[in-house]
Amino acid sequence: MAEESFLSDEFVSQLTAVGEVDIVVGLPTFNNRDTVQRVVNAILVGLVKYYPRQRSVLINPDAGSKDGTTEAVQAASIPDFRAVLAASPLRTMHVVSARYSGVQGESEALRMVFAAADLLGAKACALISPDLESITPEWIDALVQPALKDGFDFVGPVYQRRRFDGLLVKNLLHPLIRAAYGYQIEEPVGREVALSGRLASYFLGDQSHREDFPGLGAFEWMTTAAMAGGYRVCQAFLGPRVTVSRRSALDLNTTITDVAGSLFRCLELHQSYWIARQKCEQVPTFGFQPVLDLDPVRIDRKRMFQMFSSGVDQLRAVLEQILSPGTLEAIIAVAKLEERQFRFPDDLWAKTVCEFAASYHHSVINRDHLLQALTPLYRGRVSSFILENGRAGSDDVERKLESLRQEYERLKPYLIENWNRNVR
């Protein structure tokens, strides 16, 4: 409640008109008119179909759309679902749109949703992306139920992915979070999540580092903060995630700077938790996950290799400041291999990431520069991963990923040692 002051009077009066609710669904938007109507429809149908007796509200913080997104959100709320609403004639669907300054980033939108959940006394709060093409009403149930009925505080998504899709998550984010925080969470940057009311209130109160996570990092912060705060964490299978977002067109360098930087920052914020954490536990997963071998994503492996190889050559002086001499020598050695013989082994990659995390913590060079220096190395890892698994089936790929995760876990003492050392 202490954070009410940042909410506009109009927004507060709209919330007051809604009254108490059980479920809050947050839908931050910015120029998403093409997709948002379908997403709103899915959310509303999901709420009516699966939670007919619960009071709910859709909160739509908008960063100043110029294409009529908020109008589309409001228009989608009533006429399309007369048939469904007829089954629950007494229901009123509340849709509240409010503007916020897009300069402050998406974390400001999340803050508004948390504030709404707190003010309205919601028991569960779901966050949904506005650019989804694959969302169905079942997603709402999959996300909300564990938080509303099963006593979980944080519900992360599990997506059905194509082969070689999400390689940054699989090769860096997931294994590092699993090794450090001790939770086997599949999608640490999942943008469809649900929270219990108490966790939403906790996030609302703990906004001291909001500026550190302006973009996608806000979702990583939520995931790791829930783990470090001792909240009950689970995940729900949602299906394939198809979007039309411009975000997906962000260049790889920006993506790595955003998400890897946020994860390293989270490690700094939660260091007292993860350094002491010994065990690694499975995260309960709800929903049915079919075993399907989808077509692989197309990635130009040769170009990746060439950019890795030339990047290592050009950035040697920068990498010398970040990596230990042994690790750098090993990377230089693999960068000199022929393209067909090229391998970036699991242990070398995991060690590289650990040393980057520690160097980030010690600020051995400007942090943005450090994260940019990771990009060519990641390209090398991707190239090697595709070369090794080009003909492998889903099970084989999963086995190899599991071995990579175990490598990260094996290197946790090395990470801690580097983390706690004095600057070289």
Partner 1 sequence: MRELVISNLRGALTAVTGILAEAVPRVLAMIIIIVAGWVIAWIAEFILRRLLLLARFNRLFESKGVTRALSVAALPSPSEMISRIVFWCIWVAFILVGINALGVVALQREVSDFVYLLPQFIVALLIIFFGFLAANFFSRAALLAAVNANSPSPRLVSGFVRFLILLLAVTMALERVGLGRGVVLVAFAVAFGAIMMGLAIAFGLGGRHVARRILERRFAAGGERKEEKDEEASHL
Which of residues 54 and 271 has its CB atom nearest to partner 1 in the complex? 271
Nearest approach, Cβ of 249 to partner 1 (angstroms)? 5
Output the smallest distance, CB 32 to partner 1, in A: 18
Packed helices 346-362 and 394-410: angle between N→C axes, nearest 10 degrees: 50
Report the residue from 64, 166, 214, 229 that binds partner 1 according to the rule CB under 8 A.
Answer: 166
Nearest by Cα to 119 from 57, 51, 164, 49: 57
Cα separation, 421 vs 416, whole angstroms? 8
Q: In this structure, is the dihedral angle defined by the CA atoms of residues 69, 137, 107 and 148, taken in order, positive or negative?
A: positive
Nearer to partner 1, 57 or 189 (CB): 189
Which residues 6+ apart lie within 8 Å of 66 measured at CB?
A: 31
- Do the beta carbons of residue 79 and residue 46 sit within 8 Å? no
Subset of 92-131 contacting partner 1 (CB under 8 A): none
Tell me which residue of 46, 55, 48 sits closest to 132, measured CA to CA: 46
Q: Which is nearer to partner 1, 268 or 409 (CB)?
A: 268
Q: With both helix axes pointing from N to C terminus, report the angle between 33-50 and 137-148 in degrees, rounded to the nearest 10.
A: 50
Identify the helix (H) or strand (E) that includes residue 95.
Answer: strand 94-99
- Chain residues 198-257 in contact with partner 1, contact rule CB under 8 A: 216, 248-249, 251-253, 255-256
Q: Residue 133 corresponds to which amino acid? A: E
Sole window of 147-155, 282-290, 300-308, 413-421 interacting with partner 1 (rule: CB under 8 A): 300-308
Among 311, 344, 354, 355, binds partner 1 (CB under 8 A): 311
Does the protein bind partner 1 through residue 84 (CB under 8 A)?
A: no
Interatomic CA distance for residues 347 and 69, integer angstroms = 47
- Using rule CB under 8 A, residue 307 touches partner 1: yes
For 34, residues 6+ apart whose C-beta sits below 8 A from its C-beta are: 244
Q: Supply the minimum distance, in Å, between the C-beta of residue 75 and partner 1.
A: 29
Residue 373 beta carbon to partner 1: minimum distance, rounded to whole angstroms: 6
Q: Is 315 one of the binding residues for partner 1 (CB under 8 A)?
A: yes
**Which range binds partner 1 by CB under 8 A, 39-47, 142-150, 165-173, 387-395?**
165-173
Reported as type and span, the H/E element at residue 250 is: none
Looking up tokens 């690694």, which residue turns up? Answer: 280
Smallest gap from Cβ 422 to partner 1, in A, equals 9
Only one of the segments 31-39, 160-168, 286-294, 336-344 lies at the binding site for partner 1 (rule: CB under 8 A); that segment is 160-168
Q: Measured from the CB atom, is 28 or 46 closer to partner 1? A: 28
Of residues 280 and 365, the one with the C-beta less far from partner 1 = 365
Site stretch for partner 1 (CB under 8 A), options 15-23, 55-63, 311-319, 406-414:
311-319
CB of 368 to partner 1, least distance (A): 8
Determine contact, residues 373/322, Cβ cutoff 8 Å: yes
**Which residue among 154, 164, 183, 213 contacts partner 1 (CB under 8 A)?**
164
Find the shortest distance in angstroms from Cβ 296 to partner 1.
Answer: 10
Residue 46, SS3? Answer: helix
Q: DSSP strand E in 268-351: where?
A: 285-286
Q: Where are the beta strands (DSSP E) in 27-82?
A: 56-62
List the beta bridge partners of residue 236. 157, 286
Instruction: Provide Rg for the chain, Cα atoms.
Output: 22
Length of the chain: 424
**Which of 78, 242, 244, 297 is in the footprint of partner 1 by CB under 8 A?**
297
What is the size of the binding site for partner 1 (CB under 8 A)?
41
Contact between 292 and partner 1 by CB under 8 A: the answer reads no
At residue 415, the 3 state secondary structure works out as: helix
Dihedral sign (CA 297, 303, 306, 309) = negative
Q: Between residue 335 and residue 394, which ones bind partner 1 under the rule CB under 8 A?
A: 362-366, 369, 372-373, 375-376, 382
403 binds partner 1 (CB under 8 A): no
Min dist. Cβ of residue 298 to partner 1 (A):
6
Residue 123 or residue 174: which is nearer to partner 1 going by CB? 174
Token look-up 């400041």 returns 321
Which H or E element spans position 155? Answer: strand 154-160
For partner 1, the binding residues (CB under 8 A) are 162, 164-169, 189, 216, 248-249, 251-253, 255-256, 259, 297-300, 303, 307, 310-311, 314-315, 318, 321, 362-366, 369, 372-373, 375-376, 382, 423
